[in-house]
Structure 1
């Protein structure tokens, strides 16, 4: 099966959506599926208001059509609701082509926290966006129930996984900091609710890995915390393995792949009992969920690191890719997506 995935989130961005899609493609190839990406590459872009450093593409209709037809896909999946996603949706609707979508980011909450538009209006727009899809895939059962209550229909499951070969407890970096070390990893932005972590009265040290528009302000406000900037690959893994507790203060993530990455490094999780942590951690003995985040942090110190690693080993990207491909295979498109012959290579698809 040849699958085209349209996404507004792409390299050099470092976030859960990009990691999910790249891991999906790698695992899908081992299952006999080939995934191409229609990304913002090659399109002009503009800066996102209130989010310095983040840009969105301005795709044009003709180039979107050319890239889709160049890909010659058997199935089309739209991963994000940005300009690229809307443009691909419009192409499919004009040609009466079936497509699937995924709900990966809580844009209504992200936008509302920046006081741009109310969440109810954003949800109305997203319902309209996803209503035309054959299926909207979500990562957790609690999110599926929540979106169903908000009027979303044709919802399906697509769980997430973790690369246990990259994220592992071996060779933790030596951090010359007082123990215990409480660490968080991700965008340093208001929607990640980092102040809920940084304001806690905790023993030892607080460490933040990542970058974003709030970093300068938070470094000034919390001078005792260590901000180590963005890290990737083995460098990121060695730092996560060095932490005593991974703190996930977000209230808006739909899943939080980084929780599984921390667990694969043998690091227990402390989080609020909200969508994402409730589905990843639930009642498994690999983390503590509590509306009192300090209590969750202290409680997580007693959790077995070996249990965290074993838990992560059971949640592979291969299983996630198999579920994604199964969703596409089960749907009957309204007509074949494949043109009579392929007209270009993958490089033409990405621009």
Structure 2
């Protein structure tokens, strides 16, 4: 099977969407599924207002069509609601080609945090975008339920995984006063990072990541350590040197960093919101509380082995198999719908519905 994924989020961006797609594709290859990508790399781009380091592609309709047709995919998946996602959606709609989508980012909250645009308007646009999808993939049961409650159709689950080879316990001393409280992610207003930085905690607060709010927060909280964007072994070592992972975000649909921390043997302190509630639930690997300071202090007492045992059950292979399974099920459902009007015994050729 060949799957083409259209995504506006891609390298050099460092975020959960990019990590999810790349790790899923690598894992899918181990059981014979070829995943290729339609990304901003081949298009002109511009920096988003208020977020200049996030580049947005300017795709052309004919160029998108040529690239999709050259890939010869059996299935098309649209991962993001950006220019590339819209162009791929339009291509599929013009040719009556079924496609699947995934919901990664809570754009209504993100956009409303920056611009005076009602969240209801953004949700309406997202319902329209995903409305033509034969399956809308959500990372957690709570997110899936919310999307259904908001009028989204064909919502299915696509859980995430963690790279246990990279993110694992290491004997690391970061050289900061302990305990070390770590936060990893985009340094932007929607991540609610100031709720963490303003806490009165013993030891050291460490922030890994970059973004438009970094300079302001770094100036306001000079006692915190800002390490910038880290990847690979560098990032894994910082995880291992932390005592508690702090996740103050209220808007993430999942939070891959939660699994990365747990796979490193680091307990979690977070708010009781979608994302942490679904990833951690009632497992004894984190403390979810509206009192984030109290959660940080209580998390210090959590057994690190429990964190490791929990993370071991979340693999990228399982995530990739769920992704491919969703596409296979959606394809079968579309085929059934197309064949149902036919008379009994009449042959039905549905291949054109899946081949660009």
Structure 1 and Structure 2 fold alike (TM over 0.5) = yes
**Cα separation, 1, equivalents of 2:318 and 2:110:** 29
TM-score, structure 1 as length reference: 0.95
**Cα separation, 1, equivalents of 2:181 and 2:116:** 33
Structure 1 residue 176, shift from structure 2 partner: 1.6
Q: Aligned pairs, how many?
A: 338
Aligned to 2:355: 338
1:59-138 equivalences in 2 (<5 Å)? 59-138=59-138
Aligned to 1:9: 9
Measured against aligned partners, the alpha-carbon deviations of 1:108-161 in whole angstroms (never above 9, x if no partner) come to: 111011124111100000000000000100000000111111111110000000
1:133-212 equivalences in 2 (<5 Å)? 133-172=133-172, 174-212=173-211
**Cα separation, 1, equivalents of 2:294 and 2:115:** 31
Match of 1:41, SS? helix
Runs (4+) of structure 1 moved beyond 3 Å?
Answer: none
Unaligned runs of 5+ in 2: 336-349
Aligned to 1:44: 44
Measured against aligned partners, the alpha-carbon deviations of 1:77-134 in whole angstroms (never above 9, x if no partner) come to: 0000000000000000000000000000111111011124111100000000000000
Structure 1 residue 52, shift from structure 2 partner: 2.2
Measured against aligned partners, the alpha-carbon deviations of 1:28-51 in whole angstroms (never above 9, x if no partner) come to: 001110000000111111211111
Measured against aligned partners, the alpha-carbon deviations of 1:277-303 in whole angstroms (never above 9, x if no partner) come to: 000010000000001111111110000
Alignment check: 8 A CA contact 2:269 2:295 kept: yes
Aligned to 1:343: none
Match of 1:54, SS? strand
Structure exhibiting the larger radius of gyration computed from Cα positions? 2
1:265-344 equivalences in 2 (<5 Å)? 265-332=264-331, 333=334, 335-336=350-351, 337-338=354-355
**Cα separation, 2, equivalents of 1:301 and 1:259:** 16
Match of 2:51, SS? coil
Structure 1 residue 171, shift from structure 2 partner: 3.7
Aligned to 1:237: 236
Structure 1 residue 170, shift from structure 2 partner: 2.0
Alignment check: 8 A CA contact 2:97 2:355 kept: no
Aligned to 1:346: none
**Cα separation, 1, equivalents of 2:2 and 2:330:** 14
**Cα separation, 2, equivalents of 1:190 and 1:31:** 40
Measured against aligned partners, the alpha-carbon deviations of 1:1-42 in whole angstroms (never above 9, x if no partner) come to: 100000000000000000000000100001110000000111
**Cα separation, 2, equivalents of 1:80 and 1:97:** 18
Instruction: Find out whether 1:259 has 2:276 as its counterpart.
Output: no
**Cα separation, 1, equivalents of 2:278 and 2:170:** 27
Unaligned runs of 5+ in 1: 340-351
